[in-house]
Structure 1
Amino acid sequence: MFVGFDLQELVSAFIVLFAVIDIIGSIPIIINLKQRGKGVNAMKATVISFLLLLGFFYAGDMMLKLFHVDIASFAVAGAFVIFLMSLEMLLDVEIFKNQGPIKEATLVPLVFPLLAGAGAFTTLLSLRAEYASFNIILALILNMVWVYFVVKMTDRVERFLGKGGIYIIRKFFGIILLAISVRLFTANITLLMEALNK
């Protein structure tokens, strides 16, 4: 059918990327951003995320070496952004002021670090060593289609849950995000320290 196509590889790659991108877990963040009047463009977020991930899939190693940045540093940077987002959700404060000319949150924090973050970048590089590129790209496309529909449907989810439900979910996911940021930071700061000691 297609050169290198393997259904098992496609399903495996899809499941791994699905877990890492975790758009369902990002729903409270997207709703939170919209409630604060920050626009989230579903199509733009999906397309930019896909292009970033695709670009990184083919040129990730080269890009990082060009800027003398390793994946661990990327992960630590992502951990800081996620940490600040969790504080916003838990403490009801606004850290991402976004005072620039574009009053939307599509690029930061939705595209980076939520959709196209260090975790997704690292996963793509890992998958490339195991599976055929065709299957990984197809799995990525399927994930991006799912991402688009979820981001597009957040308004309906918000109406279904109501203000009280959203508030409770936001606090809960604030704690989850805080835990994720700590795990991401501690796992990668160790690698950075080891690299510096060499």
Structure 2
Amino acid sequence: MVAFSLFDSLVAAVQLYAIIDPLGAIPLLVSVPDYEKMMNKFLRLVAVTVPLLLLLFAFAGPFIFYVFSININDFRVAGGIILLIIAIDVLREGTPKTMGINPEDYVIVPIITPMLVGPGAITSVMVMVTYYNIFSVITAVLIASLATYITMKYSVYLVKLIGNNTLKIFARFFSLIIASWAIQLIASGIINIVKAI
């Protein structure tokens, strides 16, 4: 069993934060009418829902593999493809359009999921528990969730300070990190599948 590693936790937290991509969500959030008035309610939901959902799938991941007889290498390839699609989507559009999020229709909870805790983040934590110690993953989830909360808390100030266009540039940069990890997952899964033949 892999031992707990703070370094692994920090690496996983950065990867997870990039996939959650709260910076990319801010331009959509601030476009919602009366966003500043609903800020406190929204922040409470972010503080509770984001880490709970991520931890739920982190712990349920191995059980899901067992119940559905899923091979982890197959899952890595599938998860890598999903992450790669999301990364390309963000790189081209500036936001994950494949999520189907329209801030006019989905105001609070759907923005948290599937916008923040979507297929990419869910896939990531399920794969991470196959790479890292479970306590490293828990620590990573808590760090990424805290960073997401802080980003959301100061979202209005960030928009006023650097503007929507700069935030989209950051989102596109993070998409490159997501794409790199996606390629790594796909390559690792394919190599292990070939070795098992």
Aligned counterpart for 2:118 among listed residues 106, 112, 117 = 112
SS at match of 2:14: helix
How far is the alpha carbon of 1:27 from its aligned partner?
Answer: 4.4
> What runs of 5+ residues in structure 1 fail to find an aligned partner?
1-8
TM-score (normalised: structure 1): 0.65
The alpha-carbon distance between structure 1 residues 155 and 182, as it changes in their structure 2 partners (threshold 3 A), is same
Could you tell me whether the CA contact under 8 Å between 1:10 and 1:136 is conserved in 2?
Answer: no
Pairs within 5 Å for 1:32-181: 32-37=27-32, 41-69=42-70, 70-89=75-94, 96-98=99-101, 102-104=106-108, 105-113=111-119, 116-128=121-133, 133=135, 137=138, 140-161=141-162, 163=163, 166-171=164-169, 173-177=171-175, 179-181=176-178
Find the residue that maps to 2:156 and give its secondary structure. helix
Q: Which amino acid is 1:108 matched to?
A: P
Q: Specify whether residues 145 and 81 from structure 1 end up closer, same or farther in structure 2 by C-alpha distance, changes over 3 A only.
A: same
Q: Secondary structure at the match of 1:22?
A: helix
- Structure-2 residue corresponding to 1:31: 26
Separation in structure 2 between the aligned mates of residue 193 and residue 138 of structure 1, nearest angstrom: 29
When structure 1 is superposed on structure 2, of 53-62 and 120-129 the one drifting more is: 120-129
Output the CA distance in 2 between the equivalents of 1:155 and 1:16: 28
Aligned partners of 2:187, 2:5: CA distance in 1, in Å?
A: 33
Counterpart amino acid of 1:173?
Answer: A
Aligned residue for 1:4? none
- Using the alignment, how far apart are the partners of 1:180 and 1:137 within structure 2? 21
- Deviations along 1:101-158, one digit per CA (max 9) or x if unpaired, are 64452212311256x34334333443327xxx4x764564354334322222211111
Q: Counterparts of 1:68 and 1:19 in 2: how far apart (Å)? A: 30
Aligned pair count?
180
Aligned AA for 2:185? N
**Do the aligned residues in 1 keep the contact of 2:15 with 2:178 (CA within 8 Å)?**
no
Q: Pick which of 98-107 and 60-69 moved more.
A: 98-107
Query: Structure 2 length normalisation: TM-score?
Result: 0.65
Alpha-carbon distance in structure 2 between the residues aligned to 1:53 and 1:121 = 9
Q: Residues 13 and 144 of structure 2 are in contact (CA less than 8 Å); yes or no, is this contact kept in structure 1?
A: yes
The aligned counterpart of 1:21 is 16
Note if contact 2:20-2:116 (Cα within 8 Å) is conserved in structure 1: no
Taking structure 1 as reference, are residues 108 and 189 closer, same or farther at Cα in structure 2, changes over 3 Å only?
A: same
Unmatched segments (≥5 aa) in structure 2: none
When the two chains are superposed, the root-mean-square deviation of aligned CA atoms in Å is: 3.9
Structure 2 partner of 1:3: none
From the superposition, tell whether residues 185 and 57 of structure 1 become closer, same or farther in structure 2 (CA, over 3 Å): closer
Q: Identity of counterpart residues, as a percentage?
A: 14
* Structure 2 Cα separation of the partners of residues 103 and 25 of structure 1: 17
Offset at 1:63? 0.9
